[in-house]
Every structure is written in C-alpha cells, then in structure tokens.
A and B are shown apart, each in its own frame.
Chain A
Amino acid sequence: MHIPDGMLPAGTLVAGAALGAAGVALGLRRLDADRLPQVAVLSSALFVASLIHVKVPGTSVHLVLSGLAGIILGWSAFPALLVALFLQAVFFGHGGLTALGVNTVNMALPAVICHYLFNRNLTRRSSAVAAARGFAAGALAVALSCLMVALTLATAGKGFVAVAWVVFVAHLPIMGIEGFVTASAVSLMHKVHPELLSASPPPEVLEEESHA
C-alpha cells in the first residue's frame, strides 16, 4: 500500500504533500503534552505493523493499524502516521520519500474519517458496542485506504477499477485481522482506561495514584 518513488506524476506528489502538511498541522494543533505519549506509542505500533505480512497469492500485504490510530487519536493520526511512514521509508525502503505526503494522506485520512464515525460518545456506550465499533474502524480504515491508493495510482494512468479491485481483494485478510486487533484493543481500553478513548483533550491533572 505504500507507493514508491517514481510512480506518480509531480502534480499528485505536490497535492499529496500539501494535503499531508495541512493534516499534520491540524493534528499538531490538537496535540498536547498529555496526549503525546499515546501518539508516540501508536506511532511506534504503526511503524512496526508494516513488518507483519500476510501472504496473499500474487502479492504480499501487511498490517497498517490506521483504524486503531484514527479511533484513538483523531487528527493526531496525521503526525503519528507521517513519522511512522518516514521511518519505514528510511529504514525499510518501504514507500518513497517524495511520495511521503501522498502515502500519509492515503492512510491518515481514512483514520480521521473512522474517528468521526466511530468515536462519538464511545466512552458512554457498552463494551460490546466499543468492540463492534473498533472492528468497524479497523476494517473500514484499510478499505478506504485501498480506495485512496487506487485513486492515487489512477492519476499515474493506471485503470482505476482494475487496481482498486486487486488492492481491495488482496487486503481482505488484513481488514479482518485489523478488525479483530482494533476491536480487542478498543474493548480493553474501554474497560480499563476509557479516558484514552475520550475525544476531548484530557484535563491537566496533578500527580495521582493509579490503579492500573
């Protein structure tokens, strides 16, 4: 799902960089010191996730975890994904550096969409609902990313429908796996640390004893 260098026309790269920069700026504005550790932990998880491959006939696909990042972080998924994608490109040669903006938008925008769809009043609903929404977020984020990758490649002259179909079908197992992973993570957080799922910035607090 990472698009390498040299595939896309300059216009697409520039548009992707601009949209990506806007998303990251918005994400950074909504970031504060209390949320920062979550962003860092998720960024690390995103970075490592791309190492987990699933063999699919004809190609090789990997975990993304953008649904999890989206449902927890909202717009801050943009900077988290940017950092993870940059490190993946530099360390693993995964995706191009000129295509960094495009790749960030392709994965972060679905994450933000899933945040708005599934995070509303999440802490007030039951754990079962939380798990269901987590599954939906995990699967939908990947599906939307497949769509956006196909759209992006269409600007490079590849037939949209054919590419969309190939990428989508190849990622079906990923959607299932991510659905489960996100569902269990969200359900666990909902039971033990629901404030992590709260959409609003947590209030500033003094040191207190935890009962984790």
Chain B
Amino acid sequence: MLSRSGLARLAAVALAAAVVLAAALPAEAHSLKLWVRVAEGRTLKGRAYFPGGGRAKGVTVEVFDPAGAKLGSAETDDEGEFTYEAAQRCDHTFVVRTMDGHGDTAVVRAEYLPADLPGGTVGGASATAGAAGVSSSAPTARGDTDAPTGAPASTEGTVRAAELERAIDGVVARWAGQMMDKITEYEDRQRLHDVLGGIGYIVGATGIVFYLLARHRKP
C-alpha cells in the first residue's frame, strides 16, 4: 500500500508537472470569440476567432435588433473577418455559433452609428418596416443635421468639417481596432495564477473532505 509520504510525493510531482506544463504552453482560451467594431460610418467590421487557435473561417454571423428580430447575416472570409452595413440606428447584436457548440455574442451600440440612419432613438425603438430598405442608406456626405455645434455657417465649411470628422474617425478606428485586439488577447490569455487558483480550490476541498471523513469515523 502506498504510504502517506509516498503518496504525498506522487501528488506533489503530479501537481508540479501540471503547473509547469500550464505555464510553459502558450495556453489561451478555447472558446470562439467575436469582436465587432464600427469601421467607418455605418460599415461594421467583425472578426470571429479562437484566441491562440486561429481564425474561424466560413462561419455565419447573425445580426439581431434589440427586440430580437433578425436584421441580417454575414459570413466570415478566410481571415475570419466579415463586413456588415448597418441600416438602422439601433443596438446591433451579433451572434456566432459553430456546429459543435462554440459561440459568442457582441453588441455594437447605437450611439456609435451615424445619427442620420433611420430608427434614430438610441437603444432601438425600432425603425419602421419602411426604413428597412437598404437603398435608403445614409448619404455619403453627412448633412447639416450632423454638423457639430458652432460649425461655420457656410456650406463649404460644414462640408469640410464633416470630411475632417470622417477622416479622424477613420484614423482613430484603425488605432482603436489594434488596441482592441490587444485587450481581447490580454483578456483571453490564461494566467498562471488562474491555474494555481483552481488547483488551490481542489486542495482546499480535499482537505475539507478529509476532515469530514475523519469526523465521521470517530464520533
């Protein structure tokens, strides 16, 4: 029969091996993740991927409005990326699911979409059916209604301000996109202390069970 010291040694070796293994491997989260952002204007770009495990290609992403009605769908390309043109100014919920059960959800809030889209109330008092016509999309240049307060009175000045704002939008979106990549990667990476935490709980639970068994044996 394995003596207590022998068993303790075995347990210590096994646990040490587990911890070393977990620390040595570039172990990252396993689940399918989805990230969607406003690329420019009403163009939304998204990515479906397995952190540490590559991109999810050819996966269907469905889009829902706040009421749960389906707005449309998109399919990821070889890079796991997809594009979606928003037609309403409401919260867009993107859902991705693969056949074997992996999945994730991402929400793009209405406030980040252009104000000139139909269904203008933030949080989606949903647009009427008539506004669903994609062709009635936002004009390519933002009109006066979207000009920031204190904009120059002249039309040319308004147009230039709008163009400038769009240009800045584009630059910030690209920069923010890369920041988001980093944040997501950081969130998903397993840290050694998570492993130690889990093993700590197991050790603690084992101790409690030992105690209970001992109490039960000697009343």
Contact = CB atoms under 8 A, between A and B. Distances in A.
A212 B8 CA distance: 11
Contact of A41 (B3, B6, B10, B98): B10
Interface residues of B, number: 53
Contact of A51 (B2, B190, B197): B190
Interface residues of A, number: 53
A25 B10 CA distance: 27
B100 A163 contact: yes
B198 interface: yes
Nearest to A56: B53
Interface string A83-106: 100011001111000000000000
Contact of B194 (A4, A59, A92, A212): A92
A193 interface: yes
B168 interface: no
A170 interface: yes
B11 interface: yes
Contacts, number: 141
Given A4-B101, A60-B30, A207-B3, A44 B202 contact: yes
A7 interface: yes
B99 A48 contact: no
Contacts of A162: 99
B209 A36 contact: yes
Contacts of A31: 209
A205 B202 CA distance: 25
B213 A37 contact: no
Interface string A10-47: 00000000000000000000011100110111011101
A208 B7 CA distance: 12
Q: DSSP majority for the B interface?
A: helix
A41 B11 contact: yes
B1 A51 contact: no
Interface stretch (A110-118, A122-130, A131-139, A195-203): A195-203
A44 B213 contact: no
B99 A166 contact: yes
A71 B209 CA distance: 23
B31 to A, nearest CB: 6
A153 B101 contact: yes
Contacts of A51: 22, 25, 27, 190, 195
A93 B190 contact: no
B178 interface: no
Given A91-B197, A92-B30, A93-B29, A36 B103 contact: no
Given A33-B214, A44-B15, A153-B101, A210 B2 contact: yes
A50 B2 contact: no
B18 interface: yes
Contacts of B214: 33
A2 B98 CA distance: 13
Given A4-B31, A58-B57, A60-B30, A36 B3 contact: no
B200 to A, nearest CB: 10
Interface string B72-111: 0000000000000000000000000111111100000000
Interface in B166-219: 190, 194-195, 197-199, 201-203, 205-206, 209-210, 213-214, 217
B27 A36 contact: no
Interface in A165-179: 166-167, 170
Interface of A: 1-4, 7, 31-33, 36-37, 39-41, 43-45, 47-48, 50-53, 55, 58-60, 62, 83, 87-88, 91-94, 149, 153, 158, 162-163, 166-167, 170, 193, 195-196, 202-203, 205, 207-210, 212
Closest 4 CB pairs of A and B: A60-B53, A210-B6, A210-B3, A51-B27
Given A37-B8, A208-B1, 14 more contacts: A32-B213, A36-B209, A37-B7, A41-B11, A44-B15, A50-B30, A51-B25, A52-B25, A53-B28, A60-B52, A62-B30, A83-B202, A193-B2, A193-B6
